[in-house]
Structure 1
Amino acid sequence: MHPLRFPRIELVNEYLRYSQRCLSMERWYHYLVENYPGADLRGFESWFWRMNFSSSPNFLPVPPEAEHISFDGEFYCFYPGCPKHYRSKQSRDNHFDTIHLGFRYLCDLCHTPFMNRNSVKKHKDWGRCCETKL
C-alpha cells in the first residue's frame, strides 16, 4: 500500500504522540475516524503499524515546548511555517486539527462537513439540514 494513501494520518499520529492527548490505539483510531471524514480506512491498521515504527525524514515531531505557553502569553501553532498564535491551548489545538489536519465535524443526519461542532448544532437548529426541513 502506498504511503500517500493516508497523507495526513502520519501527521495526526505524531501530533497525538507529542501532545498531551495520550490515547490508546482504540481511542486514537476512533478520534481519527470521527474527525477525518471521507477517508477510506480499509487496510489502515496494517498501514499504520508499518508507518508508526518507521522514521519519516520529511516530518519533524512537535517540540515539547509547543505544549507550554510562550513568554508573551500565547500558544503558537507548531506546524512548520504557520505564524498563527492563540491565547489558549485548546484554540491552538482546534486550529491545528481543522486547518492543518483537515478534521471536520459531520452532521449525523445529512453528513455535511463543518469546521466546528457549534456549526453542526446551528445547521440543525436553524433548519438548514435537508433531513430536518419540513
Structure 2
Amino acid sequence: MDRLRQSMKIIADSSAELASRAKALEHEFVDKSRTLQAREDALKALAERVRLTDLLLGLLERRRALREEQERLDHRLAEAQNNALRWQENISSAEHDCALWKQLYEEVVAHHQTLRNDIASLRS
C-alpha cells in the first residue's frame, strides 16, 4: 500500500510538474506570438513608410520636371516678348519711314505741280 501511495504521489507530482511546464510553454507561446505579431505590425508599418516614401520621391521628381518645364516656358516667353519688342520697333521704324516717304512724295507732287504751273505760265 505504501508503494501504491508512493506511485500515486509520484504520478501526482509528475502531473503537477507537467501542468506547470505546459502552463510555462503556453505563456512562452503567447509571448512569442505577441512578439511575432509586433514584428509583423512593424514590418507592415515599414512597408507602408517605404510605399509612402516611393510616392513622395515620385512627387518630388514630378515637381522637379514641372519646374524645369516652367523654366523652359519662361525662357520661351521671354524670347517671344523680346521678339515682340523687336517687331514693335521694326513697325515703328517702318511707320516713321512711311511718314518720311509720304512727306517726300507730297513734296515731289507739290514740286511737280509747281513745275507744271511754271511751264504753263512760260507757254502763255
TM-score range, shorter chain: under 0.3
Higher relative helix content: 2
Compute the TM-score of the two structures, normalised by the length of structure 2: 0.15
Whichever of the two has the greater Rg, that structure is: 2
Larger RCO (CA under 8 A, 6+ residues apart): 1
Compute the TM-score of the two structures, normalised by the length of structure 1: 0.14
Higher relative strand content: 1
